[in-house]
């Protein structure tokens, strides 16, 4: 085997990749190419609606969706609904995640607690949030308690799993260092357990928030009289697809914003980690 | 130090049996409490149905027996929607994963669409396709498409540069490159995508049925039971929902582990 | 924290008929069998042997991470019952906490000490291992050799009388390794502490030690104890050096 050829390091990667001579000609593609498809869709959408190929109740023209979105923002409708939705998600997230942090720490630190409570928790975690909706509707009706409970449950499960795993996966080697250096309980907690488990816990919190967002939309579509999810159902009932599509846009933007925000926060909290790998 | 590291897990063996009993203790206690509470003379609540009634419902109760037909319908729907969605998703992931320009052209749009919570598509789909079969299938297709597309794409991206270099050095043909390196290299990730897609497709199936109604299905069974205030049937339905999800995960894990034997013991 | 021994002469470590076994599927597996040797204060002792001879296990018993053994390991007159401030250890992997800076890592063992003095001692030990200027750097930014020096400083900062070294240079490239061997020797000379090093590298052992304990595997036993009576600095190419190396190699096989 030709060892010399195989032994080059990562530094040479660029020179080995086949060079694409036509790339420089398409440089602007980096910015323009991603916009081609949405542009095409918009054009087709516009043509289809203007020519009257599809009724407005099925597909309103893009301009109409845009003006509806602007109207909904301007007259405060979206803001009012968003406020309610975001309040629900905040309460549910705070309740569910803090309970998850506590419970996850308990079953992460104590094997005995995990033996007793872990299996039941993991079995119940198999039931998706969607499954809890009808059960809780029967018990609590369409009350707001229902929404908080569903969202809290959606946050509780991933936070618990991540916290217990984060603690359990702390390398034994580090625990031995703590033992050899005879660190006190407080030092072990603040200098070892928390920082070591933090990345995993944060991953869990991120997952919790995205689950909460999904659960919120579902529960608002099924059992609410206000909120972004309800707004869409209402638009659908009135066959006002512009409202429905505007709602989808808002949901997409908020989902994206939450994910970006948490990723940023996560990076800030982990400045010690190597930037790559 | 290696000789010691392997010993950390040693004491576990003996206590596994203890762990099993301990794990059963709390659920057993809860079930006893539930049974006692439900059988108390004063209990006429429709919400507090004894466990045995709940578990017997799919066999002895006329409305309860409906669950089997519903379940069959739901699984058939899942199979149809999942196959379309997963095939499209893998194809899409392979396409954007192998061609950078395709990725630049379509990737961002798909990622933008992915930000929209899946269930938020339902009002639009129901307006476009009605509340019948096609709206449900399209929704399941969507639920299965995104995870497979994403994981296939990521799987191709995660193939170590060293292997790609090796393929170049050995002058692989395009065909060899795809069949010998790219596909097998991305396979573990594709399998993860398929498993996630099956679960998300299953929840999508029941969710779409629950929201759209019309016809038969596990979701419709649960929705009707809720409408009739039949807590026993709701519980049975939800239990079935969870069991199928559990079965999907178990089967996937077994099958994929078998198919990925070459990976050795890791993960 | 016992102070008693600190008042007397420097402790001498005595390992007396130490045996250790693990249970695997309820079958005892002997790892150490009847191991005995003494270590004088200020001595540099190396333990060499094939893998599976229990040399790392022996270090874990001495540091006190594992207290379940037969026989006695005596520090002065006291049997070892757990980790103590008079013993420090450097593991093969540096085991620095990745979320703490170099100086925070080194300061870990000083939590009960007045902050001003702790700072001083951290700075002292950073200088001792030659890491001045890297105080605020995180471990992932260090090379393997530098990380291992930080680990040495972390072990020394509590001023142990005995420093245990579990193949500390095993994972380093040979140039760094030779360099750190000299550094280790310098630190040993400068700090006048007892060092017990487990290693695979016979040359390293001969280069640094006053005494080499050769162990054989399954179960781990002492095969021979070879004194090294050569003056420092030692010359790896000298005939006497080669002779001792040869003696140990023949004892190993």
> With the CA atoms of C93, C98, C104 and C106 taken in that order, what torsion angle do they form, in degrees rounded to the nearest 10?
0
- Partners of C167 on chain A (C-beta within 8 Å) are none
Please write the tens of the pLDDT for every residue from A171-183. 889 999 999 998 8
In the predicted structure, residue A203 carries a pLDDT above the cut 70 = yes
In sequence order, the β-bridge partners of residue C35 are C18
Q: What percent of chain C has pLDDT over 70?
A: 96
Reported confidence tier of residue A27, pLDDT bands at 50, 70, 90: low
**What pLDDT was estimated at residue B89?**
94
Best of B2, B4, B15, B16 to substitute, by most chain C Cβ atoms within 10 angstroms, is B4
Averaged pLDDT for residues C116-135: 87
Reported confidence tier of residue A31, pLDDT bands at 50, 70, 90: confident
Whether A30 has its CB under 8 Å from any CB of chain B: the answer is yes
In the predicted structure, residue B9 carries a pLDDT above the cut 70 = no
Task: For A197-223, give the DSSP string.
Answer: HHHHHHHHHHHHHHHHHHHHHHHHHHH
Whether C170 has its CB under 8 Å from any CB of chain A: the answer is no
In the predicted structure, residue C126 carries a pLDDT above the cut 80 = yes
Distance of CA C115 to the CA centre of its chain: 28
What number of other Cβ atoms are within 10 A of residue B244's Cβ? 22
Best of C20, C21, C55, C56 to substitute, by most chain B Cβ atoms within 10 angstroms, is C56
Compute the distance between CA of residue A187 and CA of residue C33 in angstroms, rounded to an integer.
37
> B127–A213: do the CB atoms touch at under 8 Å?
no
Backbone angles phi, psi at B195, to 5 degrees: -65, -50
Closest chain B C-alpha to C83 CA, distance in angstroms: 18
Nearest CA-CA partner of A78 in A237, A226, A223 = A226
Task: For chain B, give the DSSP string.
Answer: -HHHHTTTTTTHHHHHHHHHHHHHHHHHHHHHHHHHHHHSTT---SS---HHHHHHHHHH-HHHHHHHHHHHHHHHHHHHHHHHHHHHHHHHHHHHHH-HHHHHHHHHHHHHHHTS-GGGGHHHHHHHH-SSHHHHHHHHHHHHHHHHHHHHHHHHHTS-HHHHHHHHHTT--HHHIIIIIIHHHHHHHHHHHHHHHHHHHHHHHHHHHHHH--S--HHHHHHHHHHTT-HHHHHHHHHHHHHHHHHHHHHHHHHHHHHTGGGTT--
> C23–B4: do the CB atoms touch at under 8 Å?
no
Averaged pLDDT for residues A247-275: 81
Reported confidence tier of residue C231, pLDDT bands at 50, 70, 90: confident
- Using CB atoms, which chains have 3+ pairs under 8 A with C? A, B
> B231–A233: do the CB atoms touch at under 8 Å?
no
pTM of the model: 0.78
**What pLDDT was estimated at residue A6?**
33
**What pLDDT was estimated at residue C124?**
85
Q: Is C170 in contact with C137 (CB distance < 8 Å)?
A: no
Backbone angles phi, psi at B10, to 5 degrees: -60, -50
Whether B128 has its CB under 8 Å from any CB of chain A: the answer is yes
Q: Is B144 in contact with B89 (CB distance < 8 Å)?
A: yes
> B120–A251: do the CB atoms touch at under 8 Å?
yes
Please write the tens of the pLDDT for every residue from C167-204. 888 888 888 888 889 888 988 988 889 999 999 888 89
> A37–B229: do the CB atoms touch at under 8 Å?
no
Closest chain B C-alpha to C56 CA, distance in angstroms: 6
Q: What percent of chain B has pLDDT over 70?
A: 92
- Partners of C60 on chain B (C-beta within 8 Å) are 4
* Least confident window among A42-56, B229-243, C132-146: A42-56
Burial class of residue A197, CB neighbours in 10 A (0-12, 13-18, 19+): buried
**Is A7 strand, coil or helix?**
coil
- From residue A177, alpha-carbon distances to A114, B114, B177, C91 in Å are 25, 45, 47, 9
**What pLDDT was estimated at residue A29?**
61
In the predicted structure, residue B140 carries a pLDDT above the cut 90 = yes
Nearest CA-CA partner of C72 in C2, C15, C148 = C15
Of residues C253 and C116, the one with the higher pLDDT is: C116
Closest chain A C-alpha to C140 CA, distance in angstroms: 6
**Is A173 strand, coil or helix?**
helix
**Which region, left, alpha or beta, applies to residue B217 given φ > 0 means left and ψ of -120 to 50 means alpha?**
left
**What pLDDT was estimated at residue C131?**
86
Closest chain A C-alpha to C147 CA, distance in angstroms: 15
In sequence order, the β-bridge partners of residue C253 are none
Q: What is the mean pLDDT of chain A?
A: 82
Closest chain C C-alpha to A103 CA, distance in angstroms: 25
Residue B225: partners with Cβ closer than 8 Å, 6 or more residues away:
A134, B63, B233, B234, B237
Side-chain half-sphere exposure of B9, counting CA atoms within 13 A: 2
Best of A14, A29, A65, A134 to substitute, by most chain B Cβ atoms within 10 angstroms, is A134
DSSP state letter for C37: E
In the predicted structure, residue B225 carries a pLDDT above the cut 50 = yes
Compute the distance between CA of residue C151 and CA of residue C164 in angstroms, rounded to an integer.
12
3-state secondary structure string across B97-113: HHCHHHHHHHHHHHHHH
**What pLDDT was estimated at residue A28?**
60
Element (H or E) spanning A238, and its range? none
Q: What percent of chain B has pLDDT over 90?
A: 28
The ipTM estimated for the assembled molecules is: 0.81
In the predicted structure, residue A8 carries a pLDDT above the cut 70 = no
Kindly report the CA angle at A62 between A59 and A67, in degrees rounded to 5?
Answer: 110
**What pLDDT was estimated at residue B7?**
36
Alpha-carbon torsion B251, B256, B261, B264, what sign? negative
Cis peptide before B95 (omega within 30 of 0): no
Compute the distance between CA of residue B252 and CA of residue B246 in angstroms, rounded to an integer.
10
Reported confidence tier of residue A5, pLDDT bands at 50, 70, 90: very low
In the predicted structure, residue B4 carries a pLDDT above the cut 50 = no
**What pLDDT was estimated at residue A50?**
82
**What pLDDT was estimated at residue A17?**
45
* Least confident window among A199-203, B101-105, B263-267, C142-146: B263-267
**What pLDDT was estimated at residue A274?**
61
Most confident of the ranges A100-114, A149-163, A226-240: A149-163
In the predicted structure, residue B205 carries a pLDDT above the cut 90 = yes
Alpha-carbon torsion A20, A25, A26, A28, what sign? positive
- From residue B260, alpha-carbon distances to B159, B164, B178, B253, B255 in Å are 16, 21, 18, 10, 9
> A126–B246: do the CB atoms touch at under 8 Å?
yes
Please write the tens of the pLDDT for every residue from B149-183. 999 998 998 888 888 888 888 888 888 888 888 88
> A232–B120: do the CB atoms touch at under 8 Å?
yes
Averaged pLDDT for residues C221-238: 85
DSSP state letter for A240: -
* Most distant CA pair in chain A, distance: 79
Side-chain half-sphere exposure of B162, counting CA atoms within 13 A: 5
What order of strands is seen across the sheet that includes strand C78-79?
C27-39, C13-24, C70-75, C78-79
What number of other Cβ atoms are within 10 A of residue C209's Cβ? 24
Give, to the nearest 10 degrees, the angle between helix B133-157 and helix B122-129: 130
> A–C: how many Cβ contacts below 8 A?
57
Residue C182: partners with Cβ closer than 8 Å, 6 or more residues away:
none
Compute the distance between CA of residue A27 and CA of residue A33 in angstroms, rounded to an integer.
10
In the predicted structure, residue C160 carries a pLDDT above the cut 70 = yes
Whether A272 has its CB under 8 Å from any CB of chain C: the answer is yes
Nearest CA-CA partner of C35 in C226, C209, C238, C224 = C224
Averaged pLDDT for residues B87-108: 87
Distance of CA A18 to the CA centre of its chain: 38
Whether B212 has its CB under 8 Å from any CB of chain A: the answer is no
In the predicted structure, residue C8 carries a pLDDT above the cut 80 = no
* Least confident window among A68-82, A139-153, B50-64: B50-64
In the predicted structure, residue B79 carries a pLDDT above the cut 90 = yes
> A181–C108: do the CB atoms touch at under 8 Å?
yes
Alpha-carbon torsion B97, B102, B108, B113, what sign? negative
In sequence order, the β-bridge partners of residue C45 are C196, C211
Compute the distance between CA of residue C89 and CA of residue C197 in angstroms, rounded to an integer.
10
**What pLDDT was estimated at residue B15?**
58
């Amino acid at each position: 085997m030709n060892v010399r050829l195989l032994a080059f390091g990562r530094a040479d990667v660029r020179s080995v990749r086949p060079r694409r001579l036509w790339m420089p000609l398409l440089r602007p593609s980096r910015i323009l190419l991603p916009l081609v498809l949405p542009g095409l869709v918009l054009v087709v959408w516009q043509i289809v609606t203007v020519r009257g190929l599809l009724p407005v109740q099925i597909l309103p023209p893009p301009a109409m969706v845009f003006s509806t979105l602007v109207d909904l923002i301007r007259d405060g409708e979206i803001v009012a609904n968003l406020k309610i939705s975001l309040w629900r998600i905040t309460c549910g997230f705070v309740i569910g995640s803090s309970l998850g942090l506590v419970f996850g720490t308990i079953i992460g630190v104590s094997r005995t607690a995990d033996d007793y409570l872990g299996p039941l928790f993991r079995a119940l975690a198999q039931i998706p949030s969607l499954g809890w909706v009808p059960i809780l509707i029967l018990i609590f009706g369409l009350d707001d308690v229902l929404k908080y409970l569903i969202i809290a449950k959606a946050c509780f499960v991933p936070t618990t799993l991540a916290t217990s795993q984060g603690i359990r996966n702390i390398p034994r080697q580090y625990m031995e260092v703590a033992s050899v250096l005879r660190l006190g309980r407080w030092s072990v907690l603040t200098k070892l357990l928390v920082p070591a488990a933090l990345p995993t816990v944060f991953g869990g919190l991120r997952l919790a928030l995205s689950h909460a967002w999904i659960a919120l939309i579902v529960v608002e579509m099924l059992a609410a009289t206000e909120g972004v999810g309800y707004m869409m159902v209402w638009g659908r009932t009135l066959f006002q697809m512009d409202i429905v599509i505007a709602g989808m846009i808002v949901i997409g933007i908020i989902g994206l914003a939450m994910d970006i925000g948490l990723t940023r926060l996560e990076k800030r909290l982990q400045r010690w980690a190597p930037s790559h790998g | 130090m290696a000789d010691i590291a392997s010993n950390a897990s040693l004491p576990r063996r003996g206590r596994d049996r203890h762990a099993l009993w301990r794990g059963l203790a709390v659920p057993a206690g809860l079930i006893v409490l539930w049974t006692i509470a439900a059988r108390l003379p004063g209990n006429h609540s429709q919400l507090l149905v004894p466990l045995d009634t709940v578990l017997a419902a799919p066999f002895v109760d006329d409305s309860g027996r409906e669950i089997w037909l519903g379940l069959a319908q739901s699984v058939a729907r899942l199979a149809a929607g999942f196959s379309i969605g997963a095939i499209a998703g893998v194809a899409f992931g392979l396409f954007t994963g192998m061609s950078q320009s395709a990725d630049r052209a379509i990737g961002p749009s798909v990622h933008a669409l992915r930000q929209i919570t899946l269930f938020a598509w339902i009002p639009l789909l129901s307006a476009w396709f009605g509340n019948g079969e096609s709206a449900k299938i399209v929704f399941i297709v969507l639920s299965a498409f995104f995870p497979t597309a994403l994981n296939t794409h990521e799987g191709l991206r995660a193939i170590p540069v060293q292997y790609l270099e090796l393929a170049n050095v050995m002058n692989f043909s395009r065909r060899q490159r795809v069949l010998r390196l790219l596909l097998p290299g991305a396979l573990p990730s594709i399998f993860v995508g398929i498993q996630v897609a099956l679960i998300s497709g299953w929840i999508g199936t029941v969710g779409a049925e629950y929201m759209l109604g019309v016809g038969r299905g596990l979701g419709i069974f649960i929705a009707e039971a809720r409408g009739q205030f039949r807590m026993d049937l709701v519980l049975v339905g939800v239990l079935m929902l969870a069991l199928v999800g559990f079965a999907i995960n178990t089967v996937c894990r077994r099958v994929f582990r078998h198919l990925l034997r070459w990976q050795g013991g890791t993960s | 924290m016992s102070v008693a021994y600190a008042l007397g002469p420097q402790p001498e470590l005595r390992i007396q008929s130490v045996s250790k076994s693990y249970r695997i599927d309820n079958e005892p597996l002997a790892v150490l069998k009847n191991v005995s040797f003494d270590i004088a204060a200020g001595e540099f002792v190396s333990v060499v042997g094939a893998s599976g001879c229990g040399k790392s296990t022996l270090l874990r018993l001495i540091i006190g991470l594992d207290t379940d053994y037969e026989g006695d390991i005596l520090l002065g007159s006291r049997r070892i019952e757990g980790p103590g401030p008079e013993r420090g250890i450097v593991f093969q992997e540096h085991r620095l906490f990745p979320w703490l800076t170099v100086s925070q890592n080194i300061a870990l063992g000083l939590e009960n000490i007045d902050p001003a003095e702790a700072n001083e001692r951290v700075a002292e030990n950073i200088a001792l291992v030659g890491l001045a200027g890297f105080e605020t750097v995180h471990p992932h930014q260090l090379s393997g050799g530098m990380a291992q020096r930080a680990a040495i400083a972390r072990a020394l900062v509590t001023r142990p009388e005995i420093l245990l070294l579990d193949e500390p240079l095993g994972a380093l490239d040979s140039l760094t390794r030779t360099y750190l061997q000299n550094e280790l020797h310098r630190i040993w000379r400068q700090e006048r502490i007892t060092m017990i090093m487990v290693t695979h590298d016979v040359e390293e052992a001969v280069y640094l030690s006053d005494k080499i304990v050769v162990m054989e595997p399954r179960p781990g036993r002492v095969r021979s104890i070879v004194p090294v009576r050569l003056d420092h600095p030692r010359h790896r190419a000298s005939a006497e050096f080669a002779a001792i190396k040869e003696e140990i190699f023949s004892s190993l096989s």
